[in-house]
Structure formats: C-alpha cells, structure tokens
Structure 1
C-alpha cells in the first residue's frame, strides 16, 4: 500500500515537473496548491497509519509474546513512516526548486538575453536532475519490493523444506519404533515356545518309568 502511494507521488511529481504552461514558459513546474494537497495527503495517511499501529499495539498486550509482537509492529511502523518522510523530503525539494525558479525568473526579467539563456539552461538542468532523482527513488522502491518478495518466497520454501524433513524424520522414528516392537514380540513368542517345549519334555520324562530291577538269584 505504501509503496503504491510512493509510486503515485513519483508519477505525479514527474508529470508536473514536465508541465510547462504555454503562455508562461518560465512559470514554476508545480503549483503550490498541489504541494499543499500532497502534504495534506501525507499527513492524513500518517495519522491513519499511526492509528492502525496503535490498535496493533493494544492487541499485542493481549498476547503471550508481547515484546516480539510489539517489535514486529514497530518495524513496520518505522518502515511506513520512513516512506512518508521520503515523500515529504521530495516535496520540500520541489518547493525549494519552485522558489529558486521563481527567483531566477524575476532575475531574468532584468537580465540580458545571454544571461536569460544561461538561466534557462540552468533550469533545464535542474529539472533534468530532479527527474533523474525521481527515477532513482522509484527504482529503489521497486527493488526493495522485489527483494522483500524474494525473501518471503525463500522463507516459505525454507519452511516447506524444514517441515518435509521433520515429517520424514518422524516417519523414520515411527518405523523404527514399530520394528523394535515387532522384534520384541517375536522374541517373546520364541521364548514362550522354548518354555513350552521344555515343559513338554519334562512332562514326558516324568511319565516314562525306569525298568524294574531283576530279583537276586537264590543262594
């Protein structure tokens, strides 16, 4: 949301920087009213974001891991407010550029044609530099968004690999436990079979009587 708003600001300032009224070629590129509207928008967005973050702070105090929750909210708060601050700095730069252009225009009214051309060249260079800065800032926002998306994808993939590894380990442990239980049962059955066999042999020996001794011969 905040990246989209910043991109819209870049686009708006870029278009306004290229706008040159036909009747007044030396007029400021951006009307002061537009800057005021942008400042009002930034102030409103900052108030809305802060209200939302304060509500999240309240929810964090209802959780067990309060500090961890607050830390995450503060990270997002700092990032959002930093984006709004960057927008304000761009507006300040544009306002200074407007004041400078106005001063140059007033000076040119009293200057020679040669000086007017030099001043026009300086203005053109200032506009070009400003547009270049807008493009760089826009590229930074896009790169940061792409980096965050890649980091999130990598995190999700890593979590999936860890989960798969844990499931395999758990399945292996369960298989080993089952095999150990089966081996234990087999050993118990073998032991019982040996005990039954020994008991059977003992019973057989008891039932078998030894042969009677022959009587002694008469003397």
Structure 2
C-alpha cells in the first residue's frame, strides 16, 4: 500500500511540475481524495490493531508471567503503531507538497516566464527532497529489520549454545551416575565374597571340632 501511495504521489507531482496554465486543476483534487482515503485506512488500521492489542493485554492478565507477556505485546504495539505513524507523516508531507505545488501553479498563471521557471525548479527540488526522505525512511526500515533479524540470530545461537552446555552437563551426570552404580556393584560383590569366605571358615571350624568325651560306665 505504501508503494502504491508513493507511485501515485510521484506521478501527481510530475504532472504538477510540467503543468502549464491550460492544465486542469483536477489532478490535485484527485490526489487529495487519495490521500484522504489513505489516511482513513491508516486510522482504521490503528483502531483495529489497538482493539487486538487490548484483547491480548486482557489475556496476559490470565497468565502467570503477566509482565513478560505485556512487555511482548507492547513491543509489537510500538512497532506496528510506529509504522502507521510513519505512513501518516508521509501522507501529511505529500499533502503539503501537493498544496504548495498547486499554489505555485496558480501563481504561475500570472507570472513571467522567469518566475515560472523558478517555480518549476522549486517543485523539482521539493520532489527530490521528498524522494530523498522516502529513501532514508526505507533505509531505516531495512536497518531495523536487519537489527531485529540479528537479535533473533543471536538469541538462536545463545539458545543452541545453552542446549549444548546442558547436554554436556547431562552427559557428565549420566557418566558419573553409571560409574557410581558400577562402583556400588563392585562393592556389593566384594561384600558378598567376604561373607561367603567367613561362612566357609565357620563351617570348617565346626567340622574340625574334637568329639565330646564319653560318660564313664557305671560300676
């Protein structure tokens, strides 16, 4: 939608730059109608988004991590509302340029050729300034998108690193648990062997015990 608005504006401004006294004043009126329609669309989008964000706020209050949830909603609210505001500013700038160009065109009808040339140069400069501003805005948007992508990439890398560290910790813990279990088994086997040895020694002693003396015969 922004690209369409920009293309329409440049086309309209081009018509105004080359306008002569015989040109009909319909073009600026049509441009104003388009700007009004775009502004109405921006306002409708703003109302729709705000209603959605309010509903998300209400859902956040039902969750345990309320502040974290609200923070994420507000971050998206600032980003999307900021984009609508930038569109609105561009529309306001375009409207001022068109009105100024129309005023210059009307003045040209009563001006000398030198004044007409000067006015045409002013319109050309205004168009160039506006195009430059659009390019700067586009560059800012691209930089913001790149920065956000970089943050997401860093977060993903950090998460992967954390998962790797956790997996290594779990591996070490599993290895230690296995070693402890093996040591316990060895200790239990040693204990059983000692018990069997002791029992065997007791049995041997019982077998080698001298027989009891017989009782004397009666007289």
Q: Deviations over 1:7-39 (max 9, x none)?
A: x314422442234349x7266677100110110
After TM superposition, give the deviation of residue 80 of structure 1 in Å.
Answer: 1.2
Partner residue, 2:128: 128
Write the distance in 2 (CA, Å) between the matches of 1:11 and 1:144: 22
After TM superposition, give the deviation of residue 125 of structure 1 in Å.
Answer: 0.9
SS of equivalent to 1:176:
helix
Give the gaps of 5 or more residues in structure 1: 1-7, 211-219
* Equivalent of residue 25 in structure 1, options 10, 19, 22: 19
Write the distance in 2 (CA, Å) between the matches of 1:107 and 1:25: 12
The answer as to whether partners of 2:60 and 2:70 remain within 8 angstroms in 1 is yes
Residues 1:185 and 2:179 are matched in the alignment: no
Give the gaps of 5 or more residues in structure 2: 211-219
The answer as to whether partners of 1:14 and 1:131 remain within 8 angstroms in 2 is no
Partner residue, 1:16: 9
Write the distance in 1 (CA, Å) between the matches of 2:91 and 2:8: 14
* TM-score for the superposition, normalised by structure 1: 0.83
Q: Deviations over 1:31-59 (max 9, x none)?
A: 10011011011011001101111111111
Q: Deviations over 1:109-168 (max 9, x none)?
A: 222211211111111011011011112212222232233223223322321231232123
Write the distance in 2 (CA, Å) between the matches of 1:168 and 1:117: 76
Write the distance in 1 (CA, Å) between the matches of 2:209 and 2:145: 98
RMSD: 2.5
* TM-score for the superposition, normalised by structure 2: 0.83
Q: Deviations over 1:153-192 (max 9, x none)?
A: 3322321231232123112202211210110121121022
Range that drifts further, 50-59 or 142-151: 142-151
